[in-house]
Structure formats: structure tokens, C-alpha cells
Structure 1
Amino acid sequence: MKGFGVLRTERARLTGLYGTLLLLAGGGLVALVYVLVGQGLYTSVSGAVSTVSPALRRGEVPPPDPGRSPEPARTVAPGEQPPGPDLKDLKAYGFTHTLSDAVTEAMQRRLLTVSLVALAVFAVLSIWLAWWMAGRVLRPLAVITATARRLSGENLHERIALDAPPGELKELADTFDAMLGRMEHLVSAQRRFAANAAHELRTPLAVQRAAAEIGLAGDPPPERVARIRAKLIGVADSSEHLIESLLLLAVSEEGPQSGRPAERVDVAALAAAELEACPHQGLTVERTLAPLTVTGDRTLLGHLVRNLLGNAVRHNRAGGRLGVATTADGELVVSNTGPLIDPVDVPMLLEPFRRRAERQHTAGEGAGLGLSIVASIARAHGAELVARANPAPDGGLTVSVRFRPAEPRRAESGR
């Protein structure tokens, strides 16, 4: 059974293919040589034998006398034998013809035997060469397969790094390396997300436990009970908001819901409505809302705009500025003033649970998921998100989301 398994491998198939092609080429070459040599062989042998005929060497057929003049034509008398070839000449010719046939037949048999032996040797060499060639061609695939079998969640940092000339297999190995890089990034992000989520959820639980065990120990006065009660409610609200954000992040990673058809969404109107509902007292609002319609999930796009505005208000400063703009070419821009941000730290702010400073667990602080949810929803809608730090003295952040504008509605039939 193991032998049959070897015959089913790609190397065996390529060996059969290459060996058959080489064998057909060798057989065709041998047949061509045999036919071409056999066609002119008799003429060559006959001419060679005639020049060295034994009858001529023994003097049985006298050579012509160069000084003898040819006899004139004459009438043959009755009973006289007409002039013609001598009997010795006929014998020499017959001997030469027989010898030529024998030599030609012997040479053809010899040529056929040698050709068959050469073809057999060539067949063996062809199979060996085809097996070696197939192994040489499939060696990169063996490296890729071995690497894929060896990889796990603990060694995703390994790469094939195939050392080979440019070609299809080199491109395959490089593509596999790029895929491993993306997988490593996703697994690292997932592990970091799980660790941060566990930390974020464990902290409010610890606060609730401490408030219940310490603050309510013994017989506390009503004022302390009211204060602890308000603290527990605030921590519960924060935990509820965190869980809702985690669920929203998971939904946004999946993209628009498959059961809900994509619809045309007026992002400018959506931004205007969310801006009215967003508490931005004390901030100078600059709005430039040009018509912008995209195709997507209205609920997710609403969360995208709401999180952008909430992040811009939460991290603003007193008397600062909030800018909201949409453009006809498919761009939504939200900017705000605030603390100066190092441009190197901007990509970090788009990851879950990443903040510029450690969390203080105060009211309205947020869970650090706002911009990561925005980035996830943008990816789900095929949009490009770009965040950049604003220079001094304004500070703050500018986030732009470039959508693919929705195609214009098709004219109704009959109009």
C-alpha cells in the first residue's frame, strides 16, 4: 500500500510525464536515424563492394585495354553467338550483388540491435533524470509544506524565506510569507485584545467588590450607603458601556450584516443629526457638510460618526474647536483641538484599549475602543481611514474617512 501511495505523489506523476516525453523523443530519434541510414545503406554498400570485388582482384575479369579501339558493328552470321558480356563478368556481378545484400542485411540487423540497446539505456537514464528533475522542481513545495506543518500559534514569526530564482514557486513562497505576517499580526492583536479586555473587565469588578466589602462593612451610616450605592451604579454603567463597545467592535469586524441589505446612507445628514445629539457645550463647532451618499449599513455608519464626535469632544479642551466636514468626493473629516500628540503614537490610538495615558476609571473616561471601532467599521465598508496629529498650538487629532461614493440611482424604466 505504501508503494501505491508513492505512485500517487506529484513527483511520481511528473516523473511519468517527463520520462514519457524523453522516451518518446529518444525513440523518435532512433527510428529516424534507422530509417534515414537504412534508405541509403544498400547503395553505399554496393558501391563499396563493387570497387573491391574479389573477382576483380583475382583477375577473373580482365580490365579494359585503354589502347584497344572499339570494334565496329557487324552482322552476326547464322549460328554465331552475338557479342555480349563475358560469363566471368556475370559471375562477378552476381557475387557482388549477393555480397552487397548480405552486408546490408547484416548492417541493418546490427544497427537495429545497437539502436534498441541504446533506447533501453536511454529509457533508464530518462526515468532517473525525470525523477531527479521532478524532485528539483518540487523542492520548494516540500519546504513550504514542512514550514506549514511546523507552524503553530507559538512560532508564527518563522518564515520560509525561499532562496530561489524568481518564478512561480518563489512568488508562492513570498505570498505565503506575507500571509504568515498578516496572521501573526492578527493573532497578536487578538491576544492583546483578550488580555486588555480581561484587564478592563476585572478592574470594575474589583472596585465593586472592594466597595461592597469595605464600604458596606459593619453598620455604615446612610450617607456612606448612598455614596457606595452611587459608586456601584457608576461602575456598573461603565462595565455595561465596555461590554456594549466590545460587542459593537465584534459586529463591526464582521462587516454589514448579511441578512440586512446594503442601503444608500446620507452621511452628511447622519453627521448633522449626530452633531445635534452630541453634548458639545463650550466648544466652537465648524461644520461644512456637502452632500455625501455612500452604500452600507446605516447602524454601523451611525456608530462610526458617533464615536468620532464623542472622541473629539471627550479629548478636547475647554473653549476648544470641533470641526465636522463632508465632501462630495466621499470624505468625512472630524477634527478637534486638545493635547499635543506625538505623530508616532497616532497608529497606536487606533488599536483597542490604547490610550495616551493610563486609565483613571473616572466618569466619562471611555474604554479606549472608540477609534478602534471606527477603524473596524471603515474597513468593513471598504473605506480608508487616516488619522494625523494636529500641530501646535491647537493640538488634538484629525481623522478622515474616505468612502467610495454610492453609484447614482438608475433611472426608472419607462421614463
Structure 2
Amino acid sequence: MRATIRTRLTLVFGGLFLLTSAIVLIGADYMVERAFDGSVELRSVKADVPARPQDTGSAPPLPADLSGPEQHDAPNPETMVKAVREDVLGSQAQIRLASIVVMGAVAFALCWWLSGRALRPVHQITDTARRLSLSNLDQRINMKGPRDELKELADTFDAMLERLAHAADDQRRFVANASHELRTPLAVQRAAIEIGLADASPDRVATMRAELLRITERSQRLIDGLLALAQGERGPETRTPVDLAAAVRHSAELYVTPDIQLDLDLRPVTVPGDEALLGRLVDNLVENAVRHNHPGGRVEIRLAPDAGLLISNTGPAIDPGRAAELFQPFRRLHPDRTGSADGAGLGLSIVAAIARAHDLDVTATPNLGGGLTVHVIVPSPRS
């Protein structure tokens, strides 16, 4: 069984504390032993030095045989010091062993408790992650305490949950909108078949045929848009230099109409990416600028290395506070910007997805007299 990180921390720090304590105690015993050895050597030197007679007029010392019995029974100082040394060192060894055992137990218990407290935020993050699902992404850790590594980890996890919650909400809205967009033409088709073909006259059949064909084409455009949106969010598998000026000229040739004036000012700009996806980005911008316009309107397209790609058109006025919503799927701001047969509200959302996949920034700004200016910021060639 693999040891947990709490067990490993306890063993490492408890072992280090125990080893340090043992070294200190052994060093202290060694110093005591050296002190006793020095005391014994000093007393041995003093015992070897003969005593000098004092000039005090006192009587000389008595001979050994006349000095009395007390002189023969006097203890030897060196023997006493050695005996005390043996007793003290023996007691020190027992105390050292008992101290090491006690400090080891205390050290490991304290390290186990401290490591548990230190890892408590990690367990809190783990428990929160285990409880998470698509239905309760609103839960957060909300860790309190000093700004340390664990607090930063918990805050990062909370920020990730916030992004996941927004992504899940966007996904639910996208599925609901896509279901609604797909269900509407199917309902119309069913009504046309059940009601419109009840009277199967040649004229009625021709009218219903044209209506069913129009609805089928709209459904096909919607499905193509959903596929393009998914591909744009996935991003390019390989990146090659793409000539944006050539892509803009091609799109202008496809969507040019007699009622709309196109003004082009293109300079060579090369962007690394997928040629098909970047071509779809330019196609959607040019198509939207031409479609959501009025007869006799104008579309200006500017492309430069420093300024990037700017596409501006005339058309209905747009609330500046809601311009950013145009980059969301199925978001429509004007009835005349949608039309049930003109589009599904995926054009600019596909543009935003492709731009993100190519590390490009895209913004939309309403014009004062009506219409919209979309700006795609391309990387500078000097960066």
C-alpha cells in the first residue's frame, strides 16, 4: 500500500527532528565525559607533585608509621572521581535513551498533527471536486486565511469552476437555441405537408414545393453553420501562411451586389493558420456586411499590417451596449438583421470562434449613422 503524503511528511520531518535531537544529546554526553576525564587528569598531576615544607615554624610531618591509622584509610581522590564518572555517564546513557524515545514519540505525533492541518485545504479541495457535477457547478471552496500557496491553489480552482459554470451555461443555451432553430423549420414543413398538400392541386403543389425547398435550404445553412462553429472552436490542426488580402478579394467577388457599394483598401497581410477557416472568417464578415445593409448602402474594407482587418457597413442603428452580444450564437438584435430565411444568427459567433482559435482579437463597434464596424486585430509582423 502506497504511503500517503501525510505519512511521508511525518516520517521525513519527524525523523529529521529525532536525528537532530539524538546528535545534540550525544554531543552533550561527550562534553560531560571530556569534562570528567580532564578532572581526573588534573587530580593525577596534583597527586604526583610533592608538597613543599612551609616556613611557618611548625613541626615536620610525622613518619608514615607514626601518622596514625587515619592516614592509611584516607580515600584516593582519583578513584573517587572515576567512580563518580562511571555513575554519571551510566545515568546519562539511560537518560539519553529515554529522552530519544520520548522526543521521537512527541516529534512524530506533532508532525502528524501539523501535516494534517497543513493538508486540510487539500482535502477540502478534493471533497469539493468529488461533489461537483454539471448540476452543482456553483459550489466554491472559498478558502480563508493567509495568501499562501494553498490559498492560491484554492482560488485558482474556484476560478476554474467559474469558467466551467459559464461554459456549461453557454452550452445549455446553445443546445436550447439550436433545438429551437431546428424545430421551427421542421414544424413549418410538417404544417405545409399536412395542410398545404391537403388540396393537391397543381398550383398548390408548386407553391408548397417552393416553400419546402426554402425551409430545407435554411435548415441546411443552419446545420452548416453549426458544423463551422464546432470546427472553428476546435481550431486548426496545422498552421500555414495565409494571405488575408487574397481571401478578402475572393469574398468581395462572391458577395458583391449592384445595390451595395464595396470600397476596398487592401495591403499584403499574412497570418499563420488554416486557410479554409480564415477564409470562412472573411466570408462571414463580408456576407454580414452586405446582407445586413440597405439598398444603396456601402461596405468599406480596410486591411493593413498595423491596423488589421476592418469591415464597416451602413445599415440599421445598433445599441452600443449590446454590440458584443452579436458574437454569441443565435443572438439577434434586430428583426431586419435576422429574417427567418436569411440566417440563423451564427455568422459572427463563427467569426469569434475562428479568431480565438488563431489567437486573433475581434471587436464590433456600432457606427454613429447606423451599421457596424468589425475589427480583426492581426499579430504585428514585428512582434
Assess same fold via TM > 0.5. Answer: yes
Does residue 335 (structure 1) correspond to residue 312 (structure 2)? The answer is yes
For residues 186-245 of structure 1, give each alpha carbon's deviation from its aligned partner in whole angstroms, at most 9, with x where no partner exists.
22111111111111000000000001111111x343222221111111001101111111
1:323 to 300, 303, 307: 300
The SS at the match of 2:242 is strand
Say if 1:332 and 1:283 are closer, same or farther in 2 by CA, change over 3 A. Answer: same
C-alpha separation in 2, matches of 1:317 and 1:186: 36
Q: Is the 8 A contact 2:36 2:81 kept in 1?
A: no
Q: Is the 8 A contact 1:193 1:352 kept in 2?
A: yes
2:351 to 374, 387, 390: 374
The SS at the match of 1:353 is coil
Q: Is the 8 A contact 1:295 1:406 kept in 2?
A: no
* CA drift at 1:350: 0.6
C-alpha separation in 2, matches of 1:28 and 1:88: 50
* CA drift at 1:337: 2.0
C-alpha separation in 2, matches of 1:67 and 1:161: 92
Partner of 1:242: 222
Paired residues for 1:104-115 under 5 Å: 104-115=85-96
Given residue 135 of structure 2, which amino acid in structure 1 is its aligned partner?
A: E
For residues 307-366 of structure 1, give each alpha carbon's deviation from its aligned partner in whole angstroms, at most 9, with x where no partner exists.
001111222233322111111237111112222222221222111111114699846521
Given residue 150 of structure 2, which amino acid in structure 1 is its aligned partner?
A: L
C-alpha separation in 1, matches of 2:197 and 2:208: 8
* CA drift at 1:284: 3.1
1:68 to 57, 78, 82: 57
Does residue 252 (structure 1) correspond to residue 227 (structure 2)? The answer is no
Partner of 2:144: 163
Does residue 27 (structure 1) correspond to residue 19 (structure 2)? The answer is no
Partner of 1:178: 159
C-alpha separation in 1, matches of 2:89 and 2:9: 36
C-alpha separation in 2, matches of 1:377 and 1:88: 116
2:111 to 125, 130, 133: 130
TM-score by length of 1: 0.82
The SS at the match of 1:399 is strand
The SS at the match of 1:376 is helix
C-alpha separation in 1, matches of 2:308 and 2:33: 83
For residues 45-99 of structure 1, give each alpha carbon's deviation from its aligned partner in whole angstroms, at most 9, with x where no partner exists.
8889x99xxxxxxxxxx9976623899xxxxxxxxx9x9xx99998688621111
Higher mean alpha-carbon deviation, 306-315 vs 222-231, is at: 222-231
Q: Is the 8 A contact 1:292 1:330 kept in 2?
A: no
Unaligned runs of 5+ in 1: 52-61, 72-80, 409-415
- Of all paired residues, the percent bearing the same amino acid is 44
1:313 to 281, 286, 290: 290
Partner of 1:413: none
1:276 to 249, 253, 273: 253
C-alpha separation in 2, matches of 1:172 and 1:317: 54
- The count of residues paired between Structure 1 and Structure 2 equals 377
C-alpha separation in 2, matches of 1:92 and 1:273: 126
Higher mean alpha-carbon deviation, 115-124 vs 91-100, is at: 91-100
Given residue 145 of structure 1, which amino acid in structure 2 is its aligned partner?
A: T
Higher mean alpha-carbon deviation, 348-357 vs 361-370, is at: 361-370
Does residue 229 (structure 1) correspond to residue 224 (structure 2)? The answer is no
TM-score by length of 2: 0.89
Does residue 9 (structure 1) correspond to residue 20 (structure 2)? The answer is no
Given residue 114 of structure 1, which amino acid in structure 2 is its aligned partner?
A: I
* CA drift at 1:146: 0.5
Given residue 25 of structure 2, which amino acid in structure 1 is its aligned partner?
A: V
Say if 1:177 and 1:195 are closer, same or farther in 2 by CA, change over 3 A. Answer: same
Unaligned runs of 5+ in 2: none
Given residue 295 of structure 1, which amino acid in structure 2 is its aligned partner?
A: P
C-alpha separation in 2, matches of 1:340 and 1:89: 128
Partner of 2:378: 403
For residues 12-35 of structure 1, give each alpha carbon's deviation from its aligned partner in whole angstroms, at most 9, with x where no partner exists.
111111111111111111111111
Say if 1:286 and 1:139 are closer, same or farther in 2 by CA, change over 3 A. Answer: same
Q: Is the 8 A contact 1:295 1:405 kept in 2?
A: no
For residues 96-144 of structure 1, give each alpha carbon's deviation from its aligned partner in whole angstroms, at most 9, with x where no partner exists.
1111111111111112211221111100100011101111221111011
